[in-house]
Amino acid sequence: MFDLGDIDANNNTLLAYLQGQSPETLAKVAQSVSPEVRQIISQNIQNLVGMLPPQNFSVQITTDRENLAGLLGSAMMTGYFLKQMETRMQLDRSLSGASSLDEEA
């Protein structure tokens, strides 16, 4: 996990909120994400930092606090967006199934 200890929680309400959550709550939220969403987020972050095949390259990435915070924020927003789209897809599928049942009746 990222070390966010140097960021001022008084000026960052999201950080203050996250720090106020129990580890169990954070783990429960993380587990609610589907493998598909995790895969997309992982691929997105790898594309952002330019991952090379580990068998051929030894990659070391350095950045400053602000850029890392931006990357984390981007990953969080991507995750939120993907989770919402996944929920919408499931709802669309449920409604399509219900409307096909209505048509059959």
55 near 96, Cβ under 8 Å? Answer: no
Helix, coil or strand: residue 25: helix
pLDDT in tens, 1-27: 444 455 565 677 777 787 888 888 878
Residue at 101: amino acid letter: L
15 near 9, Cβ under 8 Å? Answer: yes
The pLDDT value recorded for residue 1 is 41
According to DSSP H, which parts of the chain are helical? Answer: 13-19, 23-31, 35-49, 65-104
Place of tokens 């897809």: 89
Specify the pTM: 0.53
pLDDT in tens, 48-87: 777 777 778 777 778 888 888 888 788 888 888 888 888 8
Residue 89 CA to residue 80 CA, distance in Å, equals 14
The pLDDT value recorded for residue 67 is 83
Residue 62 CA to residue 39 CA, distance in Å, equals 24
Mean pLDDT of all residues in 90-101: 82
